[in-house]
Amino acid sequence: MPKLLLWSITVAVAGFLFGFDTAVISGAEQKIQILWDLSPMEHGLLIVSSALWGTVIGALSGSYPCDKFGRKPTLIFIGILYALSAFGSAIAQDPYTFAILRFIGGIGVGISSVAVPAYISEVAPAKRRGQLVALYQFQIVFGILVAMLSNYFISGLADWDWRLMLGIETLPALLYLMFVSRVPESPRWLAIHRDDISQCRKILNEIGEENVEQIISEIEASKSTKADLAKAKSALTELEQHNVEQEVEDIVEEKQSEPKKLFSSVYQLPILLAFLIAFFNQLSGINFILYYAPRVFSMAGLDSSSALLSSAGIGLVNLIFTMAGLWIIDRAGRKSLMYIGSVGYIISLAVVAWAFANNIGGAVVVFFVFMFIASHAIGQGAVIWVFISEIFPNAVRAKGQALGSGTHWVFAALISLLMPTALAAFEASTVFYFFAFMMLLQLVWVKFMMPETKGKSLEDLALELKR
């Protein structure tokens, strides 16, 4: 297996743990609520959304260890957090200890949503970047599928079966730790934050990158000021580049207007794009469906066993259509996938809302929830982490990833916290109509504002979006 693919898959396993950790609570949450006699608000805060608030903290702070200590040490730290959370929450004896340990796992999820896309985007060539970064999303949905299947097979084994559901994650977390310790550091991080060009060159050669010296020259030029113009021009001339003068001027111009503080007017467009794609991702209702799938299917008239099995079906549909998205993302482009996903969202959510409003449950709800999951997987699911990792320049990539990821998880946490109360206060049809309306707004955003990023180098994209 080529090293680039091996390293990308290994790092993306953090996404498997992310998906497993996110979805496993859906099989346990109702039993935990009964066990500890929790009110809807207590249940939403302590059991369902506790991990998500940790995710918010991890996402918002994830850029610091990524930039300060490196991508690789951060990825190792993530594995430690996952293992600690999985084992600890499985043996928790009260809701408060449980919430703290789920919160710790959430921190790992949040940091992984910063570190993994940043790492893979920095080692991947432009023509394969979409597919390789999307491996993270593939691993997320694979983890969701495994969690839901695991919940189905473990359910009913004992009164404490929920503890086994949660604790089994410890094993893949330890395996991830063992393998991720063998991947190299990001070559771009080494060049930019450690000025280690020789190691950067070595890793790029190991990956099998074409035009290694050209890439190094571009990275070096992006660190330079105009005083280094002659040096950059000389390096590019030796490579017989076309339009050398313009290319070097563009790179230097990019650096001169590239402050290291994220919240600068220079980055206002990437910031807005990252915020909006993350905002719409969660206002689709995806985490509501994933976390409360058995409850939604029970409301549609399915018995508890059928509800759990249908939830596992969600994981399978998610995996299949994520694979489809991964296969075409570098062919069709990010924007095309978002069109497909947005239309699918609107149709499926509107039909589910109509079904609940008219007491038409069972197979209709299950089918269109599956359609909703397919729309998410091939659209937002395949695109979000790729898109956010591409739109920020080298100097603030981790910070920009943290902003987009943090926005995503803030809204995910709010939705998970408020959904038990919302379902008690409103009809299910009202909730689904709301999500359908938000996806209509997403379609408008994709049409009029979202840029296409496929096939462009990270440095070219940074310059283009600033202009």
At residue 276, does pLDDT exceed 90?
Answer: yes
pTM: 0.72
Q: What is the pLDDT of residues 289-337, one digit of tens each?
A: 876 777 777 777 676 666 666 667 777 888 899 889 888 898 889 999 9
Please tell me the least confidently modeled range out of 22-26, 71-75, 200-204, 218-222. 218-222
What is the arithmetic mean of pLDDT over 92-118?
Answer: 90
Cβ-Cβ contacts under 8 Å for 216 (sequence gap 6 or more): 191, 197, 200, 201, 204
DSSP code of 69? T
C-alpha–C-alpha distance, residues 369 and 293, integer Å? 9
What is the arithmetic mean of pLDDT over 438-458?
Answer: 90
At residue 116, does pLDDT exceed 80?
Answer: yes
Confidence of residue 17 (pLDDT cuts 50, 70, 90): very high
Confidence of residue 234 (pLDDT cuts 50, 70, 90): low
At residue 247, does pLDDT exceed 60?
Answer: no
At residue 226, does pLDDT exceed 50?
Answer: no
Average pLDDT, the chain: 83
Confidence of residue 193 (pLDDT cuts 50, 70, 90): confident
| Amino acid symbol at 77 | F
Confidence (pLDDT) at 227: 42
Confidence (pLDDT) at 155: 80
For 31, how many CA atoms within 13 A lie in the half-sphere containing its CB? 18
Closest CA to 51 of 89, 13, 80: 89
Cβ-Cβ contacts under 8 Å for 462 (sequence gap 6 or more): 254, 258, 392, 393, 394
